[in-house]
Amino acid sequence: MIGEAGLKAAAERVLRFAQGEGRAAEVVLISVDDALTRYANTEIHPHVAERDVNVHVRIAIGRRAGSASANGLDDETLRNVVERATTIARLQRENPDFPGFPGPYRTAALDSGWTASTREATPEARAERVAVVCRRAHEAGFTAAGACSTRVTETLVANSTGTYGYNVDSHARLQAVVFGETSSGYSVRQGVDFASIDAELVANEAAGKAERGRNPEDLEPGEYDVVLEPYATEDIIRFIAYLGLQGRALLEKTSFATGKLGERLFDEQITLRDDPLDPASIPQPFDYEGVPKRPLTLVNAGIVEAVTYDSLTAAKAGAKTTGHALLGGSYFGPVATHLSLQPGALNREALIGQIDRGLLVTRFWYTRPVHPLTVTVTGMTRDSTFLIERGEITRPVKNLRFTQSYVKALQRVIGVGAESLLAGDSYGNPVARRHSPFGASRSRARASIRGW
């Protein structure tokens, strides 16, 4: 870790180098200590570690803004990145919607955002977690693959208006795919604290799913009710958030919520909330413009109440930023980064018991949007799918391709599970930090050739 003092001194130099010509500046410094233990064929093949610092600078000259990035904190690097961002700003057309840099905001670091166990995790400690998974897979006659990673990130944001924020967060993650000739299983556990990662739980979930999924049978194309495990539920709410529940999509009229804020667009059992201060996630006190984050309810009992904004989209919409700016004004727009589907009252068995004939889906794979306006997505099921008959799991079935509107899927909901899981697919993905309970849907999706 560089520490707040070192990053603050670098940020002050950037702002000093940017003075003159009526310029305003914003600097984001990200220092990362990243370590990874990857395994395949039931054995570890690399331990890797990376220490890096990234400098991201935006320069505004009136209503023209340019950005540039670099690695390093020496004066030559910082002067160079300021000069490049300035040159780009001079070459831009004026953007009448550019509101300038937000602030002044001052945001304190979160005490609960990191742990020593993650910062101090060794390759041996990560290997011990991996060994638990590999041993369980080997005993069951399967092969194991996946990764165990630890990361500590320092983030500092400062701008010419006086905005300033510094925070440290840590992220530990153990992922496992256990597979044989005819089946596979998946599991992941993650959070701030490496010491809390339960390797036995990960091993048993992944291997147990692979054991139950052996020798899957064909399933005829058709329409099926589905019970979605958290990994599949996460995919649904992620697509809904970044394709529809954000300001850029609303302004461009590519959102299903365009002109419909305040209307019930989902089943009343659906409540989606973005809570970046939730200690059970990877907390983040401010966005990449230094705007303080706060909990935001996007969908309340099926009613779309809000979308996410950064400063630019908020200015265009005549609204206020919600603290959802991504680094560099991401292509995806101001997306919810800590989204959760609020739990219901049913456990897993009760959800399955609601299905007369349908499918239990572990997770989706290679999902891609087909029609953003309806959040229609195509993809595959993966890592064991099971047929449910008369409220009981009866047999494994082969993985299926589906094409389905995720909005419609959440309009006919049987129930939402009571237990949640931090189910994001990667800590490098800004929209991966979310809780997802089990959900059961009467979406009547098309299965096998075109369905789930």
For residue 330, the model assigns a pLDDT of 66
Write down the pTM of the prediction: 0.92
For residue 434, the model assigns a pLDDT of 41
Question: In Å, how far are 153, 189, 285, 291, 416 from 424, measured between CA atoms?
Answer: 18, 9, 19, 24, 18
- Model confidence pLDDT, tens digit, residues 192-221: 999 999 999 999 999 999 999 999 999 998
Report CA torsion sign: 67, 68, 72, 74: negative
CATH 3.30.2290.10 residue spans of the chain: 4-212
Query: Where would I find the H helices in 266-332?
Result: 311-317
Query: Where would I find the H helices in 72-176?
Result: 75-91, 116-119, 123-139
> To 5 degrees, how large is the angle CA 277–CA 324–CA 86?
130
- Cβ partners under 8 Å of residue 40, min gap 6: 145
Q: Is 191 left (phi over 0), alpha (psi -120 to 50) or beta?
A: left
pLDDT < 70 positions in the chain: 329-330, 425-452
Question: Using only C-alpha atoms, what is the Rg of the chain?
Answer: 23
For residue 111, the model assigns a pLDDT of 87
The answer to whether residues 292 and 110 touch, using CB atoms and an 8 Å cutoff, is no
The answer to whether residues 247 and 256 touch, using CB atoms and an 8 Å cutoff, is no
- Cβ partners under 8 Å of residue 388, min gap 6: 225, 227, 352, 355, 357, 358, 359, 360, 394
Superfamily for the 4-212 domain: PmbA/TldD superfamily (3.30.2290.10)
- DSSP strands (E only) in 203-319: 223-228, 272-274, 296-300, 303-304
Question: In Å, how far are 30, 129, 378 from 3, measured between CA atoms?
Answer: 11, 29, 44
For residue 445, the model assigns a pLDDT of 40
The answer to whether residues 238 and 431 touch, using CB atoms and an 8 Å cutoff, is yes
The answer to whether residues 382 and 186 touch, using CB atoms and an 8 Å cutoff, is yes
- Model confidence pLDDT, tens digit, residues 239-261: 999 999 999 999 999 999 999 99
Largest CA distance in the chain: 73
Pairing of strands 23-40, 143-159: antiparallel
- Cβ partners under 8 Å of residue 438, min gap 6: 227, 228, 229, 230, 233, 346, 348, 351, 416, 417, 419
- CA dist., res. 369 & res. 405, Å (int): 9
- CA dist., res. 359 & res. 38, Å (int): 32
The answer to whether residues 376 and 369 touch, using CB atoms and an 8 Å cutoff, is yes
